[in-house]
């Protein structure tokens, strides 16, 4: 998935000198991509992308879900305030209602981002529809999809809470 996510990264020629010779190689054009994690579970995806593109910068958007309204609540934003001209890959393992992704994309666009890709492991059809309606310019990359959400906004059959699974924690709802 990472290779596909980065398929549109610009590559430029670059002169390289070694003790034996010089040659023209290739490198990622400046500015390098920006990988943004929706905390906390998106961080595991960003780690994998950094293996493919260590030149990238990283930002974090901390959101939690209000269990009454199912709306995202922001508690952290460490994203560069000027994303103009940069490719941004937003990572969150689950796309359920679309609320967190939409909120984060709104933040990214307010910082000037125009080239945004959203990456997730599992998406519900409802979340895909919501994200496409509000941000049709954002490409969605999902490894798999499930059909519906339960009354609590969780993907069914789904995987449970991705953050809890990755970090071996349990939250009481």
Task: Name beta bridge partners: 34.
Answer: 57, 88
Give CA 148 to chain center in angstroms: 22
Q: Which residues are catalytic?
A: 65, 69, 161, 164
Nearest to 53 by CA among 25, 77, 30: 30
Residue written as token pair 């929706």: 38
Q: Distance between CA 126 and CA 15 in Å, rounded?
A: 48
């Amino acid at each position: 998935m990472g290779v596909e996510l980065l398929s549109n990264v610009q590559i430029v020629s670059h002169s390289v000198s070694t003790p034996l010779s010089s040659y023209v190689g290739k490198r990622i054009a400046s500015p390098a991509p920006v990988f943004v994690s929706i905390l906390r579970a998106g961080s595991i995806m960003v780690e994998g992308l950094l293996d493919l593109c260590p030149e990238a910068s990283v930002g974090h958007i901390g959101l939690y879900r209000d269990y009454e309204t199912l709306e995202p609540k922001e508690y952290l934003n460490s994203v560069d305030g000027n994303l103009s001209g940069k490719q941004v890959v937003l990572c969150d393992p689950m796309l359920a209602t679309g609320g967190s992704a939409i909120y984060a994309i709104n933040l990214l666009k307010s910082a000037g981002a125009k080239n945004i890709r959203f990456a997730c492991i599992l998406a519900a059809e409802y979340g895909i529809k919501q994200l496409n309606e509000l941000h049709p310019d954002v490409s969605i990359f999902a490894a798999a999809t499930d059909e519906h959400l339960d009354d609590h906004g969780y993907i069914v059959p789904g995987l449970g809470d991705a953050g809890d699974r990755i970090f071996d924690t349990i939250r009481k709802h």
